[in-house]
Structure 1
């Protein structure tokens, strides 16, 4: 190897010389030359801690999935189907004395060393449940790996067939001559072998009907069946039960059957009477009457008890069926014994109530029905007791049969005449309680007491908040990865140019070190890609994101290929691979955004931005015209010709932009008429108002007057144009709220998220500085030049700002329940083992930088980035997240805590500043919503809540 010479520098006035040899990569010898002398040779022995260089995985899926085998290179995250064989190949930097792959729980897999390559280990893991592993290495000299790498195995369970009844999807009442239409949706993650329907009258043998066969994996199919009640000889007061079934292959490759919830169709009599009560007072008087006054024959009380018994018996039937489903799917006896005991006790209570009603019954027909019901209940109780004692579900079918017979007998106690009252109180009459059973009859009944149509406005609740948050998280990751790949391509080109222009060995080594850093960053991007794909492959996202996940497989291969090319010094090829990965990520990002966003979300967002820009430009033009008028009046001279020409040109451009915006609004109005009628109607009203303002004509006349230097007249006409543009902007913004939501709500969410982010960082900084104080180490906050570096000062400042942000915002809905609390396994738990000189009390830390809460913290910051609309704010949030990711990666890679003064400067302070900007914008938007009494000054903020309570309590009884 070539000899290198390093100059030594003298230290102050001491006769001591020193120098540094950078990047000692192998064993070396050195000597010192001074004057005419030369020292003896000294030896430098280099040792390396054992470390993982690369981990590859080969996944063999079970035969029932019909999925091809999958090869994953350079990854520490594996996603596999339940029952898959995962072969993990570990390439180490050298041979080791001991290598163990320690699971978080369960048995430890065996690592087998390759006889030809002692640094190559393999193990085979059967995917049964999701698991985390830690790779611990020890070499022959007893040195352990500095930061044990963590592996995450995400196992997708082979879920039973998804059976979703669509119609009627509830219990119904039917006529003996009715044809009942039954519809259900069937789907499975790995295919359906067949599906059908089982139905039967209570006490008779059920009949099974096959409705379809062979549904491909991931496909959905709607089943239809017309059940004629006349064909099963249904009679009034009988009970028909039905449920759906479907077969698929279980994890063991054997066919298994899944059943839906059980539903009941009660056969109603041919003749039932529904009449409206004369008044609410009549109804109340009737309710206050004694049972004997209501029915002298004593028939009413047993019927009332019969209806209550029927409801209890129906609940018992449903609970028994649910337990039977669990036992059919292999639930253990201990898991169902407690529930079986509860159902048996419920059936025993129903039997006691039925026997009590039977003793009080004076009507012969009611007594006969109660006798049949109690006998069936007693039989059901015997079978349920047998199931409890045996701990199995073998006796449940017989119990279900007896329970249905009991319920059918109780149906005979139903009333034939019903009194209906239009009521809005919270305690409706008995007939109203069963109104769902008589929905069809009630719809046909014309009530004289009309409904009160003066309703308060109701805000629709978003039922898909979790799904939308997952979509935004994935979209943000796609956008982030595409941006990082673009930046990587540019930096690779710079590194390639530096390598080509290197004149000496030192310059080449600097360029090589830069290339190594870029490869480490690309490895981090590869890990982030695996984490995103793992998230997309979760049960709640798998079907919705299947297309995007498949497209990303090729992109991952390109990123992995670029890391290999950088390691081999093929910088040009690596640049090409990174560029292709960037374009593919951008394409997936755009497709994913179109598929997950509202149909007109992007168009409406563009319209709103155009309208705001148009209004801002017009305000600037108004100011310039005013300045021209005032300048002309002061100097009593003509205006500057250049300024006039510039104004004229701006007005021409403004007219063109206004015309283009109106055309775009017309297009969206027409396109959204069918799917978004509220948006279409609001945009149409905006166009109508803008048309009456003659916006185009006002801009044209203003431009001509400015060009002719009639500034006073131009100012007057321009005001009409400014009013028209303002009306256009306000109308577009109002219409946009129907699609994009209220911007103040979004800003409140962003502020709450920022509060949480800042609090988490503050807590971790405080814990770290307390630990340093206990160990006698200097705190970062004591370094000069940091200004307000104290965590207490920071906390006081953040607390003060948080209190100010909360003034005037009472009643804000909390967002904590809407946030995902599931940090991805393996990311949050990457805190390395403690080493000498490090904080030894970090085991319970959950902070974002050195603890287990990084993924959750980063996801919150991604939420803020997606919520904010201002591009500068979004860029600031993204920059903070990039800096935090770099600090976290350094901690995971080297096990050293971050420099907390740098955390404060590059993470904490930007977040505090961003929160202040959000708070100021929120206050600006809410200034028009302040409660102000008519003709009076606004109530001071300190007394606003008291004044509100005062007016609310006026008129109340004291």
Structure 2
């Protein structure tokens, strides 16, 4: 019974194999038939031999059939697979056949039940035809297709086999001697080396009905006698034969030969346009640089110090009649022949200014170079030495003080001498501090001035400056001097009496009116001294520069003004000692005025030095008129005013050190140390402002759309109920507009902070205008004037968008947008070229099928024309970017120039033109070759632009790494607040937090391993935390808001009053609160008091938390990830606003669902993106991290709960 069952299953497997074999035969035969049909036109035209082609295809078909037979014989040998197919056809077996097959493999005797299963299967095989598992209809169909396709294949092969004989017979029937009227193009011609050549023969005889001789060939004969034959083809039914020479490298002769006719012999000469093959630069540096001369090979860009002798050595492809370097201004420098090579030309240039030359070449035949090379020489100026003085400011010293003067000097080519020059009691002194400082080295110098040894007395003036001597570009000694600084000798006794502090305002310094005027006059006199010194310092030689006359005139005018003020001061003094000081000062000022007038009239610089001495004497006299007693007080505000005399500002340090009875509120003055680099901090501020402007513009646009809709609804409202509903919505929009106004004020405050005031002054003024429009929109909404609100809102939207674009340029860099655009254009060109190739291929297929019409041809030509135009625009943009990036981004300019030059060498535009011309003449195969060469050139251009873009755009991996580290800290800060806000009995995380997203709990190794940012953090951040432990704990000490900087008032978020505002009822000053003394009337105040000061939701840390999340959004490149970070920040802001409006504790389950959980998911996705991009070998990449679909999230959540509870 088992053998019978096995035989029936084997028979079914045999039917499966037979059906597969017949299907494979049909497939092979159809493919060979199609291939033969495609080749048949070429065989009939004589391009391919028919007999050998038919034999090759037949052999290929036989081999494929043998392979198919082997595959078929090896298939369906597994009885289980066959049984499974039978079970599928006969479901009534209910897996009994598979069970019986399994029992056959066992060597033990079958039991009763096992025999019963085998018996039932055998009965089923007798009652049913298992062969129907392979239906008879399919067997007949496969047999028919296999047999029919084989017959069709044999027919096509036969046509190929006999095609040669028919052509030979056709040739034999034609006349052996036929008089043809033929026009051969291009005849005798010249071709540029490396270009292609198309030879056509147009037969003009009408007696033969437009026929052409068969088997025509293009015979090429080189100068050495070598012969090459190319078969000529007929273009459709036109009486034209054509031949294509892909590349012409040497001169040759050609002739068209046919069995019944041959043409004359024509010659093809080869020429070359003059071109630059390579250029070297020989640099002869000036002697003062102490640099060895060098030769830079194969370069078109050099940079050298001013005064360097540059020799361009240009190697050309052939001798030329003339070679010139043409500057942008039109200046021409002729190149002369060099002894290095017959084709080498040289030109010597002295590098004084940066120059850009175009190489113009003309050969003996008058041909000019088609692609003139650009040679760029950038001059590095020999800048004066850099003098950086430590604590560079004016000061006051005592007569017994030791005054240290320290500085750091640097020069790129070395310093001969560094010294200190000072003037004291009318005598000038110079002290040499260092000599022969090495090239490119920084040298620290210092000197100690001992005023006791100088015999200093109160109210004397010590003026000093540093100088450094090096060799200038002219090879002569050059002296560089720093600004002049002053140290006035103060009296031993200065009396400071404590006065009553005003309610607010800066600290008070009260002195006598004459003392105050003397202070101000002394400051003016010091400015006059500095101005005179600057004029002297800028002079070279004994005569004044032309541009210095205005400066001397202004100094003279200021000195006259000082003299007038001195006369006013003289009327107020009455003691004899002060009158004597005034007389001495008046005489010094009058002497200075006389010397300045002499210098201005005589055009001499020596009088300026004498005038400087007189001005210093006048300043020393004014110092003696200063007051000795002051009445001062300390206020709770820091003195931010820039008014007052410089002496008063210098004396502020003394005031701060006085031990006054009124204690300072230390909680308001303690500041957080700043560890960020100034440039990085400025870039971060730009990104923050840009992000805020982008958000404000988007929200204003959304509000404008809603206002426009409500305006239409208000006009269409007829019933009072409808109008009331519209007015209610307008009120809601007014609240949103007011919220936008508050955030505009917050951004304006940030712009006006000390660290941003200078860089963002203009933007701050623009923002004030924008704020006025935002305010007018809110006011109009309050008045329910939708039309006016929409008008003001539109103006605000446009201004915000304009400011956003300006800051985007500032934050993204000078060339980022240009490189992104050029990379995108190159990729688009590459994609369009691929589409063009596909279109050409389809057109060729239509031609072989006889379906070709004129529309595809016209479409292809239009695409090629458009492609050439876009390529030209891209190359023009590359040239402009190269010129702009030479100074700021030399690496980018170099990479771009290499890509540009390579694209020109590939002659992409010419290849596209050849493609169009060849298609127009009907040489489709040759056109495909030219198109492929153009496509390769465009792909190379795209790759080169991407490489150049990396020089400024950088790598996205570092941004992801920093974002991940920031998200870790943001998540931890939020979760700490959520845990602290829960009752003591529920200190564990909520179930949603414990279980979380199942994808987060499935052994996420990245949470423990993670990237380096997870374990070690950013170095700069870790140092910041070590420097300020209070920040690491999540907040500022003593209740100061996180993120509060110098000069920022202690205010709450969103324009709300600060808790420490003494004018707010119910608020107390920090540090003065006592237990049980707080008011319970305001629950939000109580909640904030119970929360950590840096809590992001209920505490004062929201602004810093939101800013850091905004930084994450700016660092992410993915639009999807940026959008998610933006949504989290918007939700946090909404909860914060709702918290302040309702003064109730937040719903922590809502915070978990809307903020905490999306934040953890964002962190997870950023980590996966970082690990995917970094692809480090040692990274532990988690497996199966696809998120759980939403429809199964609850089920998986319950599964993990049950799994954790042990059920």
- Relative to the length of structure 1, the TM-score reads 0.53
Matches within 5 A, 1:235-634: 235-280=457-502, 300-328=512-540, 333-423=545-635, 424=637, 434-446=648-660, 448=662, 450-451=664-665, 453-454=667-668, 463-464=678-679, 607=965
* Match of residue 924 from structure 1: 1127
Unaligned runs of 5+ residues in structure 2 are 1-221, 685-809, 824-877, 906-946, 973-990, 1036-1095, 1143-1207
Q: Distance in 2 between matches of 1:464 and 1:431?
A: 31
Matches within 5 A, 1:806-817: none
Tell me: CA distance 1:96–1:431, structure 2 relative to 1, closer, same or farther (3 Å). Answer: closer
Structure 1 residue 318: Cα displacement: 0.4
- What SS does the aligned partner of 2:361 have? strand
Structure 1 residue 46: Cα displacement: 3.1
Pair 1:174-2:388 in alignment? no
* Match of residue 97 from structure 1: 321
Q: Distance in 1 between matches of 2:249 and 2:544?
A: 59
- What SS does the aligned partner of 1:327 have? coil
Tell me: CA distance 1:467–1:106, structure 2 relative to 1, closer, same or farther (3 Å). Answer: farther
Structure 1 residue 253: Cα displacement: 2.9
Contact kept? 1:669, 1:683, Cα under 8 Å = no
The match for 2:412 among 189, 195, 204 is: 189
Q: Cα deviation per residue 1:252-275 (whole Å; 9 max; x = unaligned)?
A: 333322211111001111100112
Contact kept? 1:173, 1:438, Cα under 8 Å = no
The match for 2:431 among 194, 209, 222 is: 209
Q: Distance in 2 between matches of 1:376 and 1:674?
A: 56
Structure 1 residue 90: Cα displacement: 0.7
Pair 1:660-2:1002 in alignment? no
Q: Distance in 1 between matches of 2:1121 and 2:1014?
A: 29
- What SS does the aligned partner of 2:444 have? strand
* Match of residue 17 from structure 1: 241
Matches within 5 A, 1:26-41: 26-41=250-265
Q: Cα deviation per residue 1:575-612 (whole Å; 9 max; x = unaligned)?
A: xxxxxxxxxxx9xx99xx99xx99x9998667569999
Tell me: CA distance 1:65–1:397, structure 2 relative to 1, closer, same or farther (3 Å). Answer: same
Tell me: CA distance 1:929–1:466, structure 2 relative to 1, closer, same or farther (3 Å). Answer: closer
Tell me: CA distance 1:626–1:444, structure 2 relative to 1, closer, same or farther (3 Å). Answer: closer
Contact kept? 2:543, 2:604, Cα under 8 Å = no
Contact kept? 2:301, 2:377, Cα under 8 Å = yes
The match for 1:81 among 305, 308, 326 is: 305
- What SS does the aligned partner of 2:678 have? coil
Q: Cα deviation per residue 1:313-348 (whole Å; 9 max; x = unaligned)?
A: 111000111111111499971121211111111112
Structure 1 residue 68: Cα displacement: 2.0
Q: Cα deviation per residue 1:218-252 (whole Å; 9 max; x = unaligned)?
A: 21121122111111111111101111122222223
Tell me: CA distance 1:51–1:282, structure 2 relative to 1, closer, same or farther (3 Å). Answer: closer
Tell me: CA distance 1:356–1:611, structure 2 relative to 1, closer, same or farther (3 Å). Answer: closer
Q: Distance in 1 between matches of 2:368 and 2:525?
A: 66
Structure 1 residue 67: Cα displacement: 1.6
Tell me: CA distance 1:284–1:743, structure 2 relative to 1, closer, same or farther (3 Å). Answer: closer
Tell me: CA distance 1:127–1:392, structure 2 relative to 1, closer, same or farther (3 Å). Answer: farther
- What SS does the aligned partner of 2:606 have? coil
Tell me: CA distance 1:408–1:602, structure 2 relative to 1, closer, same or farther (3 Å). Answer: farther
- What SS does the aligned partner of 1:45 have? strand
Tell me: CA distance 1:610–1:353, structure 2 relative to 1, closer, same or farther (3 Å). Answer: closer
The match for 1:230 among 452, 455, 480 is: 452
Contact kept? 1:679, 1:738, Cα under 8 Å = no
- What SS does the aligned partner of 2:587 have? helix
Q: Distance in 1 between matches of 2:643 and 2:412?
A: 47
Q: Distance in 1 between matches of 2:364 and 2:1105?
A: 65
Pair 1:744-2:1110 in alignment? yes
Structure 1 residue 537: Cα displacement: 8.3
* Match of residue 140 from structure 1: 364
Structure 1 residue 70: Cα displacement: 2.1
- What SS does the aligned partner of 2:279 have? strand
- What SS does the aligned partner of 2:469 have? strand
Tell me: CA distance 1:465–1:142, structure 2 relative to 1, closer, same or farther (3 Å). Answer: farther
Tell me: CA distance 1:281–1:662, structure 2 relative to 1, closer, same or farther (3 Å). Answer: closer
Contact kept? 2:312, 2:348, Cα under 8 Å = yes
Contact kept? 2:508, 2:633, Cα under 8 Å = no
* Match of residue 384 from structure 2: 160
Q: Distance in 1 between matches of 2:1140 and 2:626?
A: 64
Q: Cα deviation per residue 1:604-636 (whole Å; 9 max; x = unaligned)?
A: 66756999999xxxxxx999x9999xxxxxxxx
Contact kept? 1:603, 1:668, Cα under 8 Å = no
Q: Distance in 1 between matches of 2:1012 and 2:338?
A: 70
Q: Distance in 1 between matches of 2:613 and 2:996?
A: 89
Structure 1 residue 399: Cα displacement: 1.0
Pair 1:677-2:1026 in alignment? yes
Contact kept? 2:970, 2:1109, Cα under 8 Å = no
Pair 1:934-2:1138 in alignment? yes
Of 3-12 and 271-280, the range deviating more from structure 2: 3-12
Pair 1:218-2:567 in alignment? no
Q: Distance in 2 between matches of 1:312 and 1:383?
A: 19
- Relative to the length of structure 2, the TM-score reads 0.43
Tell me: CA distance 1:937–1:386, structure 2 relative to 1, closer, same or farther (3 Å). Answer: closer
Q: Cα deviation per residue 1:844-898 (whole Å; 9 max; x = unaligned)?
A: xxxxxxxxxxxxxxxxxxxxxxxx545xx6xxxxxxxxxxxxxxxxxxxxxxxxx
- What SS does the aligned partner of 2:620 have? helix
The higher relative CO (CA closer than 8 Å, separation ≥ 6) is in 1
Pair 1:51-2:275 in alignment? yes
**Structure number with bigger Rg:** 2
- What SS does the aligned partner of 1:158 have? coil
* Match of residue 287 from structure 2: 63
* Match of residue 707 from structure 1: none
Q: Cα deviation per residue 1:727-785 (whole Å; 9 max; x = unaligned)?
A: xxx99xx99x999984635755xxxxxxxxxxxxxxxxxxxxxxxxxxxxxxxxxxxxx
- What SS does the aligned partner of 2:539 have? helix
Structure 1 residue 108: Cα displacement: 4.1
Q: Distance in 2 between matches of 1:301 and 1:613?
A: 61
- What SS does the aligned partner of 1:58 have? strand
Structure 1 residue 382: Cα displacement: 1.6
Unaligned runs of 5+ residues in structure 1 are 288-293, 484-524, 542-548, 564-585, 615-620, 629-646, 687-729, 749-867, 874-915, 939-958
Q: Cα deviation per residue 1:175-216 (whole Å; 9 max; x = unaligned)?
A: 01111111111111111222121223142x222112222221
Task: Report the RMSD for the aligned CA atoms in angstroms.
Answer: 5.5
Q: Cα deviation per residue 1:444-494 (whole Å; 9 max; x = unaligned)?
A: 3436163585489999796326998999999999x99xx9xxxxxxxxxxx
Structure 1 residue 383: Cα displacement: 1.6
Contact kept? 2:405, 2:447, Cα under 8 Å = yes
